[in-house]
Amino acid sequence: MSETLTGWRDWLLTDTPHSRSQARLSALYQGWLAFRRNSLAMLGLAILLFLLFVAAFAPWLAPSDPFAQDLANRLQPIGAEGHPLGTDSLGRDILSRLIHGSRITLYIVTLVALIAPIAGLIVGTIAGYAGGIIDMGLMRITDIFLAFPRLVLALAFVAALGAGIENAVLAISLTAWPPYARIARAETLTIRNSDYISAVRLQGAGPIRIITKHIWPLCISSLIVRVTLDMAGIILAAAGLGFLGLGAQPPSPEWGAMISEGRRFILDHWWVATMPGLAIFTVSLAFNLLGDGLRDVLDPKSEK
């Protein structure tokens, strides 16, 4: 068994790969080795893997129904019998609501991470490759979005679209794409006049093929790092909308809405608002640690 593992390791670490797939696997493995040396990044990854596990098995991990009300046991303290993190003002178990709320957080983060970077990548690469009036027009639209604070602009969109978790996701996505467009445009401007792009163009490749096959793959690493670092801001924006009653609606166990519900008891029953606040803090910190680790690995200008 150990000989087999050693053989695979030597195959992945070879300086002379014999195929494209071997070269890609080798690059991935060497990136993982570099990432693994960053203890803080590994801590962030472990927290996020734990979050995924909790969200996937929420019905089995939650000690009780997150929607079940028990007014006789309202505002029970931490460590109360059957309620490790206490209860809220309606007697609902806080731990169960936090566990089920992790699903909402991941739902929001996943959708925004799929919508905003892709939209920014398309806008940025088209602007950078086309240049001229197209570049000027798209970048002025981007500047308009960047001129407003993200949360303020998200509030405006949600106010126009209506409260709800889907509208909150759309509003956050509409405010999150401009930085990705800027990054993709900058990458495209440095790539479009390179020799190999000229060679591909001479072979008859059209603009769409050049952008999708040769420019997009080189922009992905920068976007991945930016997406990971932006996840904390996305979580905070979603929690802010939930806190204001514009995101997930009651009785949904969304962490921002839980903080909003618990702020009335912050002085006497601090755990009602503190527990979801700590959950937001922990997950946001984990994404930041993971993003720093990925930046060290994927940034070609960083020292290895």
The structural domains of the chain, with segments of one domain joined by +, span 59-284
Please tell me the distance from the alpha carbon of residue 223 to that of residue 298, in angstroms, as a whole number.
Answer: 10
Question: Which amino acid is residue 163, in one-letter code?
Answer: A
Quick one: 69 exposed, middle or buried, by C-beta within 10 A (0-12, 13-18, 19+)? middle
The phi, psi pair for 292, rounded to 5°, reads -65, -40
Distance from CA of residue 146 to its chain's centroid? 19
How confident is the model over 63-69, as a mean pLDDT? 89
Kindly report the backbone phi and psi dihedral angles of residue 80, in degrees, each rounded to the nearest multiple of 5, phi listed first.
-65, 155
What pLDDT, on a 0 to 100 scale, did the predictor assign at position 48?
94
Q: Which DSSP helix (H) or strand (E) runs through 65?
A: none
Provide the token pair at 253: 């166990």
What SS3 state is found at 115?
helix
> With 90 as the cut, is the pLDDT of residue 151 above it?
no
Instruction: Say which CATH superfamily domain 59-284 falls into.
Output: MetI-like (1.10.3720.10)
Distance, CA of 220 to CA of 117 (rounded, Å)? 10
Instruction: Calculate Rg over the CA atoms of the chain.
Output: 23
pTM of the shown model? 0.86
Contact 243, 259 (CB under 8 A): yes
Running DSSP on this structure, what letter comes out for residue 77? P
pLDDT tens digits for range 92-120: 999 999 999 999 989 988 999 889 999 99
